[in-house]
Amino acid sequence: ASFLTSNLTVGFILGALFNAPLAFLSSADVIVKNPSLAAAIKRWSVAAQFHDFQRGVLSLSSISYFVMITVVMLYLSVVLIGRRHWLGGRDGRSMLGHYIIRTLALVGVAVGVSLLFSSHDGRADVTSENLSSLSPETRKLIQGLDTKYPVTIEAYVSPEVPPEYVQARLDLLSVLDELKSLGGGKVRVIPHIIENFSEEAVLAEEKYGIKPHRVMTKT
């Protein structure tokens, strides 16, 4: 952004605007009502890519996401630094279209690399207690599944739980993330973060008999 203007304030505003889409994609479900489409859009947000890291998991898909963004932005910076050489003068010939095509091609490569590692992800649980690791038996079971008959897991989770259940909630969500990542197209995970008396809460009770329970806790 600073290469596009000599004004620091304008450069800051432009920089914020350039980063805004990557940040606000995590709230796609506010605008997009189709759950599947909203989930696909949210996957490209910075928050979604940081999710593995915050659980202590190093994934190639998340690493490649940030590496590709860095590569594209560094290339754009190099192009903008030398624009006086290719933009053309009174007798020069502008190569603006040429560099736009090259940049778009690089963006396409970056998206392709991210999609490749997303579908062929390599993951390493670096937590001391292996909190995000699946057992060998579970891995073997998932590998033996047939893509023609995918397994669907629907999880109904409360947004807030008593302190005694916080770790259990985190462990559950972590296991679901690992099942989804390892399963690929073989396992579909649909997490529902539900409030009491909401439409999804009513559906959970009618469909699966999941009811809210009052528990005693210390505060």
Give the pair of three-digit tokens for residue 144: 């033996």
Query: Contact, 110 vs 68, CB < 8 A?
Result: yes
pLDDT tens, per residue, the chain with 219 residues: 888 888 899 999 999 999 999 888 888 877 877 767 777 788 888 988 888 888 888 888 899 999 999 999 999 998 888 877 777 655 567 788 888 899 999 999 999 998 888 877 788 888 877 777 888 888 888 888 888 888 888 888 888 888 888 888 888 888 888 888 787 778 888 888 788 778 878 888 888 888 877 777 776
Cα distance between the two ends of the chain:
49
Give the pair of three-digit tokens for residue 48: 């979604």
Query: Contact, 11 vs 5, CB < 8 A?
Result: yes
Q: Is the pTM of this model over 0.75?
A: no
Query: Contact, 56 vs 119, CB < 8 A?
Result: no
